[in-house]
Amino acid sequence: MEKPFAITLTPGTSLTNHTGTWRTSRPVYLDRLPPCNNACPAGENIQGWLFHAESGDYEKAWHALVENNPLPAIMGRVCYHPCEGACNRGQMDSSVGINSVERFLGDEAIKQGWKFAAPAAASGKRVLVVGAGPSGLSAAYHLARLGHQVEIYEAGPFAGGMMRFGIPKYRLPREVLDAEVQRILDLGVTLKLNSKVDDIRVSMQAGKFDAAFLAVGAHIGKRTYIPAGDATKIVDAVSVLRSMEGEDKPMLGRRVVVYGGGNTAIDVARTAKRLGATEAIIVYRRTRDKMPASDFEVEEALQEGVMIKWLSTIKQAGEGEITVEKMALDEKGYPQPTGEFESLAADSVVLALGQDVDLSLLEGVPDLEIKDGTVQVGSNMMTGHAGIFAGGDMVPSERTVTVAVGHGKKAARHIDAWLGGATYQPTAKHELAEFKNLNTWYYSDADKTMRPQLDIARRMSSFDEVQGGLNESNALFEARRCLSCGNCFECDNCYGVCPDNAVLKLGPGKRFEFKYDYCKGCGICEAECPCGAIKMAAEET
């Protein structure tokens, strides 16, 4: 007869599995996919590099991070961090400040001069990358590390693409951008500036390239017809932001109206305030909940005195003023004209209605499919023309830096396989680590560390960086808030709570093993696992 035993369960735990001589289910250790990893468009192993960061080994954390993303200092500033929106900790107190720790690691790498690992042995293959924006830089980095000789042709005078010409300095300091670009070039990547590709097939043939990755950014501002007088100044947002990189800053006047509702519209309005505009007004045809701009950017703009006219559209522009028509939502929530008009003083009108890509380099290339201004690609990122791949703004997708970086990595892996006459097969994803899998009783409350911000007065009078970074102390604290969702971190809970001594410790870093000859299948280990790395599996009959 077995001796009786007593156990103490954490609050809310119940025994739902059968016990006894014959098990109906057995515990198994498994790795689940953390929701942060799953949500990252760049495919970062976020939980993996946070593990090293929380132990204080920042260099190892950085090396783990750049396995997938070569631009952490940039991404830590401009990424809209969908990982944090998916973070399970957000259902406890607040999500882990993943983006903040990423920026800290990126800045630390620049400060300490950390370098990428040397490329693999040379493959003898040459790859042309068109465009030195985030997607092109990412592809060049990954291709170089795979041993290929990479050349980037960039039409502009500087590298960075829309990161340089579309994101203001107060969000992304240029010394940070330059440092991360240079680190990629140090791998042996060749960058040719002021080198516009007019015909991709001619350029590939002339350079004896075996494959090409097209990553031309959306640099052409969309226009709309607004009746206007000859003296009315109407410009597009891309041109305004691009001109900020030159010696002659744009002359927008004291009263600036921005037409649009995306992040570019916000950036232009905030830039106008820094250029001395007393009024910067965004005219947007829908309500705030429909505005595509990021919430934190909208909040920062409002703090800086930018005004937003919701449910409004520009009908006419005259000298020194514009006419705006008020809109109203119909029963389906769509804005409809009301016939009510008002006038706004305006020295200039900036159109921020989206951007298009210049696809002229593809003219005459057979087997390509172009739809709605983008190039259609397969799951391997290759166009209909063999050997020509594309990503970033050129293909149908969300246009963010993070998505572009992910495209570059994905394309590089497929290009590498294609050059070798093979097909790249990504590894299958594990099942998702959901909040319900966690035992949060073991975690104490610890609110997210907020990054410091530049005071309003300095924000209004300079292009200094608005969002500050974490220091070593609070970066460590923030990394340690990670719950390690779905993956064992050797807390010894299963070992300690098992009433049958059926858990075997395998040593540091080797985790545990179940001795099924002793296990009753009671399920206590699964219930008490903080991170959800144990699952009760049905016994085979």
CB 162 within 8 A of CB 219: yes
Q: Which CATH class is domain 222-353?
A: alpha beta
Q: Which CATH architecture does the domain made up of 1-31+488-541 adopt?
A: 2-Layer Sandwich (3.30)
| 405-417 CB burial, b ≥16 within 10 A, e <16 | bbbbbbbbbbbbe
Helix (H) or strand (E) holding 272: helix 263-274
Q: How many CA atoms lie within 13 A of 199 on its CB side?
A: 8
Q: Where in the chain is the domain with CATH 3.30.70.20?
A: 1-31+488-541
Q: How much is the pLDDT for 328?
A: 94
Mind listing the pLDDT tens digit for each residue in 93-117? 999 999 999 999 999 999 999 999 9
> What's the confidence (pLDDT) of residue 6?
46
pLDDT, tens digit, 9 for 90 and up, residues 198-233: 999 999 999 999 999 999 998 888 888 888 877 679
Give the pLDDT score at 307.
Answer: 96
According to DSSP H, which parts of 40-170 are helical?
46-54, 58-65, 72-78, 82-86, 98-112, 134-145, 162-165
Of 248, 105, 75, which Cα lies nearest the Cα of 171? 75
Fold of 37-114+438-462+472-479: Fumarate Reductase Iron-sulfur Protein; Chain B, domain 2 (1.10.1060)
Helices (H), 484-540: 493-497, 524-528
Burial of 440-449, coded b for 16+ CB within 10 Å and e otherwise, reads: beeeeeeebb
pLDDT of 231: 66
Token pair for 497: 């709570």
CATH number of 126-219+357-419: 3.50.50.60
DSSP string across 454-499? --HHHHHH----SB----HHHHHHHHTT---TTS-----HHHHH-T
Closest CA to 520 of 499, 505, 541, 506: 499
pTM for this prediction: 0.91
Domain with CATH 1.10.1060.10 in the chain: 37-114+438-462+472-479
Q: What is the pLDDT of residue 17?
A: 47
Strand-strand pairing, 126-130 and 25-29: unpaired
Which parts of the chain register pLDDT below 50? 1-7, 13-20
CA distances from residue 397 to 35, 134, 407 in whole angstroms, order as listed: 21, 14, 10
Q: Where does the chain hold its CATH 3.50.50.60 domain(s)?
A: 126-219+357-419, 222-353
**Phi then psi dihedrals of residue 206, to 5 deg:** -65, -35
- 3-state DSSP assignment of residue 100: helix
pLDDT of residue 16: 46
The whole-number pLDDT of residue 10 equals 54
